[in-house]
Amino acid sequence: ILSISFSVSLLPRCRLPFSSRTFTGACRLLSRMEAAVVRCLPEEPKLTISFCLDGSHKHMQRDQDEALGKVLARISNSILKKHTKAKKSKKNCSEAAEIPAVKLFFMGNELPGTLPNSEAWQNGAVLQVGEVRYNVQRNPPTFTTAELPVSLLAGFPVCPKLEIEFGNLQDCEFTWFRENPPRTRWTPVGRERVHVPSNQDISCRLKLRCTPRDGSCSGPAKELVSAGSVEAGPGVCTFDNRHMYTVKMAEWPAVRVMSYNILADIYAQTDLSKTVLYPYCAPYALQLDYRQNLIKKELAGYNADIICLQEVDKGVFVDSLIPALDAFGLDGVFRVKEKQHEGLACFYRRSKFRLLSSHDIMLSEALTSDSIHAELLEKVSANSTLKDKVLRRSTSLQVTILEDVIKPGRKVCVANTHLYWHPQGGNVRLIQMGVALKHLGHVISEIAPGVPLVFCGDFNSTPNSGVFQLLSDSVIPQQHADWSSSGPEESCSIQLNSGFPPLLSACGQPAYTNYVGGFHGCLDYIFIQPERMQVEQVIPLPSLQEVTTYKALPSVAHPSDHIALVCDLQWNP
């Protein structure tokens, strides 16, 4: 049973006598009363009643079919016990405690004690506790989660994590305040769901007052105060110049697509990362809270319609990306990598697309369990060492079918993957890609015939690799060097066909999409079917000077060791 309770202490109490003759006047005062919040759902056996009396928060769970009189008596007795205890603590006090009158009214009439709770606690009823009256709000819009991020940087968006029940986040009201030390005075600084602190906010805490709403109906407000103060940002980031090309969203029917390995925290925080892979990166810049500020600003600035992310920590997806990108108009789906705490995420703009279906797989599991891969499995099984190596990998493929909401019936198949990482694992990656392409061909033919494919990801494959050749030429010969990439004991000779006409790398073959101290090269791609879609614009990658300002990536000005690929695509006539 989910229990939710809020109290509103800012509104004055109403202590006027109540009767049927004064009902009209009382109605005018409902909005000035404190709230008694009731949560009651038909599928749950209990309801909750929450209100604040004499500074004490009352939160009660009662059976829905219980008689109202029992609840009212319980409230009265609890107050009597408190008063009796308080009087006993006073010396020479002989005054007898009075039992407070506790009643519930609706439409000016006192409700009978035999009425079931589910019927008695209606929206607009008035709870009387002694002289204090409460406006009963049944299932009002209510925040079930309301949190501010830990790290706040000037110039970077602050996206609260909000979850609402009985309401709509798009209808909610928000007011941001800046603390003015040394006195705790709060100055209004914004009224949007997402707030970008200015340099004036540095060293100040922020406060958010948010009111949950559903259309014209509002619920109890919630106030959040940041744990820390706003800190100075890093200055110019590697993506700032790129944002100049994406100030506006792509105009329909164009669609802006993005692919980005955002560097999972579980990898960024290892000793290997800190001492070997990224020793040039300031330790604080590898911290997740810091990097999330940069990631959210970067993603927001591209105004992308479809975003494919790799190395997404499960917690980051839930606690950071979903709240932020929801505020920017995108919904998302997540595919966790088996045996890991990170995976793949695909976001899409609500105003342009709706989710039709998902067809995610773990590649190694599909290879052995799905009959469409029987031929490839037989060939791979010829080398048991290679087969075991392939089956130990938890690499996944995320497949999302989206439909254009402006032109219903027009669909796109968005694929997203992160292939095996080892530099000598070209043969494993070829097998993984073979499984992926076979699955994609099957999904398109069975679920959405004729739908164009947009295939994004970190393929860990350079343009001279077998994976790139398989995608761009539709076939990879059995003599290709990658089949022997990990030595003769894991070698195999397989001719693979993609099952698709030659695909096109929409962003070409950049000199680098991954730039670390010991390596730089092109590993990330957005592949499309040129006979179905065309490239309208490719957002230029940051210059070598920008990438190497702090030697390599990641850095205080860039949150990942990879660089995002962004391009605008258009359906062919």
What pLDDT digit, counting tens, does each position of 110-135 carry? 999 999 999 999 999 999 998 899 99
307-to-34, 321, 440 alpha-carbon distances in Å: 45, 11, 19
Mean pLDDT of 500-510: 98
**Is 5's pLDDT higher than 70?**
no
Q: Which residue is listed with tokens 């975003």?
A: 307
What pLDDT is attached to residue 28? 43
What pLDDT is attached to residue 299? 98
Q: Which two tokens stand for residue 112?
A: 């009978």
**Which amino acids are annotated catalytic?**
458
What pLDDT is attached to residue 209? 98
What pLDDT digit, counting tens, does each position of 139-191 carry? 999 999 999 999 999 999 999 999 999 999 999 999 999 998 777 799 999 99
What pLDDT digit, counting tens, does each position of 314-368 carry? 999 999 999 999 999 999 999 999 888 899 999 999 999 999 999 999 999 999 9
Average model confidence (pLDDT) across the chain: 92
pTM score of the predicted model: 0.89
What pLDDT is attached to residue 57? 85
Whole-angstrom distance, CA of residue 304 vs CA of residue 300: 8
Q: Give the number of other CB atoms < 10 A from CB of residue 224.
A: 18
Strand-pair partners of 158: 195
What pLDDT is attached to residue 9? 33
Residue 321 near residue 351, CB atoms below 8 Å: no
CA atoms within 13 A on the CB side of 148: 25
What pLDDT digit, counting tens, does each position of 404-439 carry? 999 999 999 999 999 999 999 999 999 999 999 999
**In a 10 Å sphere around its CB, with 0-12 CB exposed, 13-18 middle and 19+ buried, how is residue 152 labelled?**
buried
Whole-angstrom distance, CA of residue 83 vs CA of residue 484: 84
Mean pLDDT of 25-50: 79
Sequence-ordered alpha helix ranges (H) in 197-354: 265-268, 271-272, 288-302, 314-316, 322-327
What pLDDT digit, counting tens, does each position of 265-316 carry? 999 999 999 999 999 999 999 999 999 999 999 999 999 999 999 999 999 9
Do you know the residue count of the chain?
A: 573
Tell me the three state secondary structure of residue 87. helix
Treating both helix axes as pointing N-terminal to C-terminal, what angle do 426-447 and 384-392 enclose, rounded to 10 degrees? 60
156-to-174, 244, 353 alpha-carbon distances in Å: 18, 16, 27
What pLDDT is attached to residue 124? 93
Mean pLDDT of 20-37: 56
Q: Which residue is listed with tokens 């789906």?
A: 333
